């Protein structure tokens, strides 16, 4: 394998970044990492992976359903929104 190709692979796998974390949160991260017996970096990577895992968020089909409502439902929602807006005390 050519050296420059090999170097590019490693740069794509581990990319150094700078993130500003409030001191109190960083202390909590360090405590949790110590309790789990992992590095701060590994804990943060796991947390990011979990946060971005599609199974943790809304299913794509959920949003497709929201975008494809029938005419009666859309009219009912519009009417409800109008009524709620009128009933608000502060505008």
pLDDT score of 42 more than 70? yes
pLDDT score of 44 more than 90? yes
Higher local confidence (pLDDT), 4 or 27: 27
In a domain, 39, yes or no: yes
Task: Let me know the angle formed at the C-alpha of 14 by 45 and 21, rounded to the nearest 5 degrees.
Answer: 45
In a domain, 73, yes or no: yes
Rounded to an integer, the average pLDDT of 1-7 is 52
Number of domains in the chain: 1
Domain that holds residue 57: 21-87
Task: Let me know the angle formed at the C-alpha of 38 by 36 and 40, rounded to the nearest 5 degrees.
Answer: 110
Averaged pLDDT of the chain = 80
pLDDT score of 91 more than 70? no
In a domain, 62, yes or no: yes
For the four alpha carbons of 29, 31, 35 and 38, in that order, the dihedral sign comes to positive
Specify the pLDDT at position 30.
96
In a domain, 41, yes or no: yes
pLDDT score of 5 more than 60? no
The total of other beta-carbon atoms located within 10 Å of residue 65's CB is: 10
In a domain, 6, yes or no: no
């Amino acid at each position: 394998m050519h050296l420059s190709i090999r170097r590019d692979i490693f740069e794509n796998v581990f990319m150094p970044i700078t993130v500003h974390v409030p001191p109190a949160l960083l202390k909590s991260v360090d405590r949790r990492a110590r309790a789990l017996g992992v590095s701060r970096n590994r804990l943060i990577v796991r947390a990011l992976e979990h946060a971005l895992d599609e199974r943790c968020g809304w299913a794509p089909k959920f949003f497709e359903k929201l975008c494809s409502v029938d005419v009666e439902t859309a009219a009912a929602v519009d009417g409800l929104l109008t009524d709620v807006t009128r009933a608000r005390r502060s505008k």
